[in-house]
Amino acid sequence: MRAIVTVIGKDRVGIIAEVCTLLAARGVNILDISQTVMQEYFTMIMLVDTAACNVPFGELSRDLAASGEDRALSIRVQREDIFEAMHRI
């Protein structure tokens, strides 16, 4: 299953590394990364494959959110289908 990880927060060193480490530890494969810094705010969107994820989706979602909260980042993971549904016919 493909999902989108969105990371938003104040820019600093190591954000990508931290998120990637967390995903790798749970068997989530990163397919694509796109990232920018807008007015000091770091915004990253990742397309990931959760087929080999070793925890349930809900747990992955909670882990990401919790790890983000510790670092004052908003991190969420959502199935790709919701964006497809809203923006593609």
Partner 1 sequence: MINFNEILQTNEMIDAQHLDIRTITMGISLLDCADADITVACRKIYDKITRRAERLVAVGEEIESEFGIPIVNKRISVTPIALIAGACGETDYTPFAVALDNAAKTVGVNFIGGFSALVHKGFIDADRNLIASIPRALSETERVCASVNVGTTKAGINMDAVRLCGEAVKEAARLTAETGGFACAKLVIFANAVEDNPFMAGAFHGVGEPECVINVGVSGPGVVYHALQAVKGEPFDVVAETIKKTAFRVTRMGQLVAREASARLGAPFGIVDLSLAPTPAIGDSVADILTEMGLSNVGAHGTTAALALLNDAVKKGGVMASSHVGGLSGAFIPVSEDAGMIAAAQSGLLTIEKLEAMTCVCSVGLDMIAVPGDTPAATISAIIADEAAIGMINNKTTAVRIIPAPGRVVGDVVDFGGLLGTAPVMPVSRGESADFIARGGRIPAPLHSLRN
Residue 81 is a binding residue for partner 1 (CB under 8 A) = yes
Separation CA 89–CA 86 (nearest Å): 8
Separation CA 63–CA 86 (nearest Å): 26
Residue 45 is a binding residue for partner 1 (CB under 8 A) = yes
Among 13, 34, 67, 71, binds partner 1 (CB under 8 A): 34
Which stretch, 12-20, 21-29, 32-40, contacts partner 1 (CB under 8 A)? Answer: 32-40
Residue 11 is a binding residue for partner 1 (CB under 8 A) = no
Among 9, 27, 61, 71, binds partner 1 (CB under 8 A): 61
Among 36, 39, 52, 72, binds partner 1 (CB under 8 A): 36
- As measured in angstroms, the least distance from the Cβ of 85 to partner 1 is 4
For CA atoms 34, 68, 14, 19, give the dihedral sign. negative
Determine the number of helices (DSSP H) and then strands (DSSP E) in the chain.
Answer: 3, 4
Cβ neighbours of residue 34 under 8 Å, at least 6 residues apart? Answer: 44, 45, 46
